[in-house]
């Protein structure tokens, strides 16, 4: 079979991991990443294109014999990148604009779950601040969770311990317009308790192929303290997700979600991300995303032994049924190295040392996120999450030990990271 070229759109750690894995495919000639980062450049060719101009991007893809496009972030899907490439007849992975609503609007996702009996936190929705505040006044006590409806780069959710905190969040989002139009509508929902897990699943709208489970670490500090981030680390598999719970996730959540989308004329093809809370009453959906998770993708793809390109293409063309996903039994752990100040304002252009040494540890890959190479050839920081150091080990303790040894090699001014990634899986809370 003729080999093909692949174009990945984006520049984070997830995109580096996708490029790293796709470059290993026997069916892939060349991987391009637009715009990419210093890590993508080690495994692919980075190109500087106007990625929000989908028509010119499609023209470029055609001229470069691209046989599959893989956008990374939700914003591209919500803006209709898939629809634009489809009309140009270039195969592109992921959901069209109307199916991307699942992530683009929390209100849409919550109503879909309510209509189809998919387990999730109970909720109310508001388009007027006064009505939202009256609703809070009518409640006896917190905690509650306040969510801006639209895309807020992971920052639109406030888990409010009491009603005053919830009122303050409502005022910031609706009164002061903290997230602009994304906060014109809000959802207020019941707080769920339990452990969070991430299930990523490929689906072509008929077949569902769950990937290995993983667990993210959203809070910036050890012990899940401090503000939420895009994710400070992840590991795969999540041992708390037993086969029995996984069966429930498939039958009560994944299958009904894919059916619901079909029924409503929004066939979902691509990567369905289910952020779940494992509650005493079974798994419940915290959120859907419509693309690979970051940093979950890094440890998950380190464990994938079968050909990612083949799986993504089959998902795109509606032939997922014939694919067999194979996983290494060895767990993988990713530790994110963040810039000083992140998730608040942070400095850029800090010189990074120790990357070569870190990459020499066995079964270890340093995925680059907010990092770039200067014209002098130095690697400098260029974002909040700078690297995702990822190691695989014979068991989870071995992977954790390995990854933190590699982390020790790397340094830049202001660098910080969590020291307890995967500790929940090493000391389960029931012990
Ligand atoms: P989201 O952007 O919807 O994933 O929310 C971000 C984070 O907020 C989640 O990963 C959870 O840690 C937390 N969260 C969201 N909804 C709830 C809820 N109903 N109960 C408890 N925590 C929640
Ligand atoms: N790690 C969380 C996300 O990708 O949304």
Question: pLDDT tens for residues 94-131?
Answer: 999 999 999 999 999 999 999 999 999 999 999 999 99
- Tell me, in angstroms, the distance from the centre of ligand 2 to residue 198's CA: 9
CATH number belonging to domain 193-322? 3.30.470.20
Q: With respect to CATH, is domain 122-190 assigned 3.40.50.300?
A: no
- Tell me, in angstroms, the distance from the centre of ligand 2 to residue 13's CA: 11
* Ligand 2 atom nearest 295 alpha carbon: 1
Please tell me if the CB atom of residue 296 comes closer than 6 angstroms to any atom of ligand 2. Answer: yes
How much is the mean pLDDT over the chain?
96
Q: Which fold has domain 4-97?
A: Rossmann fold (3.40.50)
Q: With respect to CATH, is domain 332-426 assigned 3.40.630.30?
A: no
Task: Give ∠ CA 109-113-118 in degrees, rounded to 5.
Answer: 140
- Tell me, in angstroms, the distance from the centre of ligand 1 to residue 85's CA: 32
Condensed to tens digits (0 to 9), the pLDDT of residues 217-236 reads: 999 999 999 988 999 999 99
Spatial separation of the C-alpha atoms in residues 339 and 413, rounded to whole Å: 8
Does pLDDT of 73 surpass 70? yes
Does pLDDT of 156 surpass 50? yes
pLDDT the model gives residue 331: 98
pLDDT category, 154, cuts 50, 70, 90? Answer: confident
* Ligand 1 atom nearest 106 alpha carbon: 3
Does pLDDT of 285 surpass 70? yes
- Phi, psi (rounded to 5 degrees) for 257: -65, -45
Spatial separation of the C-alpha atoms in residues 25 and 320, rounded to whole Å: 17
Spatial separation of the C-alpha atoms in residues 367 and 336, rounded to whole Å: 9
DSSP assignment, residue 390?
A: E
Mean pLDDT of 259-283: 97
Does pLDDT of 431 surpass 50? no
Please tell me if the CB atom of residue 214 comes closer than 6 angstroms to any atom of ligand 2. Answer: no
- Same fold? 122-190, 193-322: no
Task: Determine which residue's CA is closest to atom 5 belonging to ligand 2.
Answer: 293
Q: Are strands 208-210 and 195-203 parallel, antiparallel or unpaired?
A: antiparallel
Spatial separation of the C-alpha atoms in residues 208 and 261, rounded to whole Å: 13
The DSSP-derived string for 309-367 is HHHHHHHHHT-GGG----B-SS-EEEEEEE-TTTTS------B-B-HHHHHTSTTEEEE
Q: Which of 95, 17, 90 is nearest to 270 (CA)?
A: 95
Spatial separation of the C-alpha atoms in residues 175 and 172, rounded to whole Å: 6
pLDDT the model gives residue 52: 93
- Tell me, in angstroms, the distance from the centre of ligand 2 to residue 418's CA: 16
Does pLDDT of 2 surpass 90? no
- Tell me, in angstroms, the distance from the centre of ligand 1 to residue 192's CA: 8
What the block records as the tokens of 364 is 């270890």
Domain parsing of the chain, residue ranges? 4-97, 122-190, 193-322, 332-426
Condensed to tens digits (0 to 9), the pLDDT of residues 324-353 reads: 999 999 999 999 999 999 999 999 999 999
50: helix, coil or strand? coil
Does pLDDT of 162 surpass 60? yes
């Amino acid at each position: 079979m003729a080999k093909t070229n692949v174009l990945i759109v984006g520049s984070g750690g997830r995109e580096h991991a996708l490029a790293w894995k796709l470059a290993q495919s026997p069916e892939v000639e060349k991987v391009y990443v637009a715009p990419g980062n210093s890590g993508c450049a080690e495994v692919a060719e980075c190109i500087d294109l106007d990625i929000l101009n989908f028509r010119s991007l499609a023209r470029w893809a055609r001229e470069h014999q691209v046989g599959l496009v893989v956008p990374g972030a939700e914003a591209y899907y919500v803006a209709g990148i898939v629809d634009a490439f489809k009309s140009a007849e270039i195969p592109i992975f992921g959901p069209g604009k109307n199916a991307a609503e699942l992530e683009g609007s929390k209100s849409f996702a919550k109503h879909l779950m309510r209509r189809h009996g998919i387990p999730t936190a109970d909720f109310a929705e508001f388009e007027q601040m006064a009505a939202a505040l009256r609703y809070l006044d009518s409640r006896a006590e917190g905690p509650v969770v306040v969510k801006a409806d639209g895309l807020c780069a992971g920052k639109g959710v406030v888990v409010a311990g009491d009603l005053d905190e919830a009122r303050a969040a409502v005022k910031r989002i609706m009164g002061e317009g903290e997230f602009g139009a994304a906060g014109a509508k809000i959802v207020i929902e019941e707080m769920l308790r339990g452990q969070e897990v991430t299930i990523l699943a490929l689906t072509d709208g008929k077949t569902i192929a769950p990937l290995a489970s993983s667990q993210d670490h959203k809070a910036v500090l050890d012990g899940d303290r401090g503000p939420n981030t895009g994710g400070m680390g992840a590991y795969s598999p999540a041992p708390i997700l037993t086969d029995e719970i996984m069966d429930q996730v498939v039958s009560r959540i994944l299958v009904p979600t894919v059916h619901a989308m079909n029924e409503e004329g929004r066939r979902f093809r691509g990567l369905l991300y289910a952020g779940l809370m494992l509650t005493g009453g079974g798994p419940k959906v915290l959120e859907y995303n419509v693309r690979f998770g970051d940093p979950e993708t890094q440890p998950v793809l380190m464990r994938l032994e079968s050909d990612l390109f083949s799986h993504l293409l089959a998902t795109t063309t509606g032939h997922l049924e014939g694919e067999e996903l194979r996983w290494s039994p060895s767990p993988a752990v990713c530790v994110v190295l963040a810039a000083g100040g992140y998730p608040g304002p942070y400095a850029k252009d800090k010189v990074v040392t120790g990357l070569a040494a870190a990459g020499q540890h066995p079964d270890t890959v340093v995925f680059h996120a907010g990092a770039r190479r200067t014209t002098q050839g130095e690697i400098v920081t260029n974002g909040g999450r700078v690297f995702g150091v990822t190691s695989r080990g014979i068991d989870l303790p071995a992977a954790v030990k390995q990854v933190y040894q590699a982390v020790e090699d790397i340094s830049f001014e202001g660098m910080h990271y969590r020291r307890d990634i995967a500790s929940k899986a090493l000391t389960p809370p029931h012990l």
